[in-house]
Amino acid sequence: MIQTIIFDMDGTLYSSEAMILPTYQRGIRAFNKRNPHHRVPTPSLNSIIGLLGFPINEIYSTLFPTLSPDEILEIRELILTELLTAIRNKEGELFPGVVDTLNELSRRGYGMYIASNGQSLYLKAILETYDLSHLFQAIITLNYTDLCDKGDILLAYQERDRLEKTEAVMVGDRDSDMDAARKMGCSFIACQYGHGDKGETESAKIFVSSFPEIIGWIETI
At residue 144, the pLDDT reads: 59
Partners of 75 in the beta sheet? none
CA distance 91 to 4: 30
At residue 210, the pLDDT reads: 98
Compute the C-alpha angle 109/142/26, nearest 5°.
105
Going along the chain from its start, the domains and CATH numbers come out as 4-15+92-218 (3.40.50.1000), 17-88 (no CATH)
At residue 143, the pLDDT reads: 74
CA distance 112 to 126: 16
| Per-residue confidence in pLDDT tens, the chain, 221 aa | 999 999 999 999 999 999 999 999 999 999 999 999 889 999 999 999 989 888 888 999 999 999 999 999 999 999 999 999 999 999 999 999 999 999 999 999 999 999 999 999 999 999 999 999 999 999 999 875 688 899 999 999 999 999 999 999 999 999 999 999 999 999 999 999 988 777 888 899 999 999 999 999 998 98
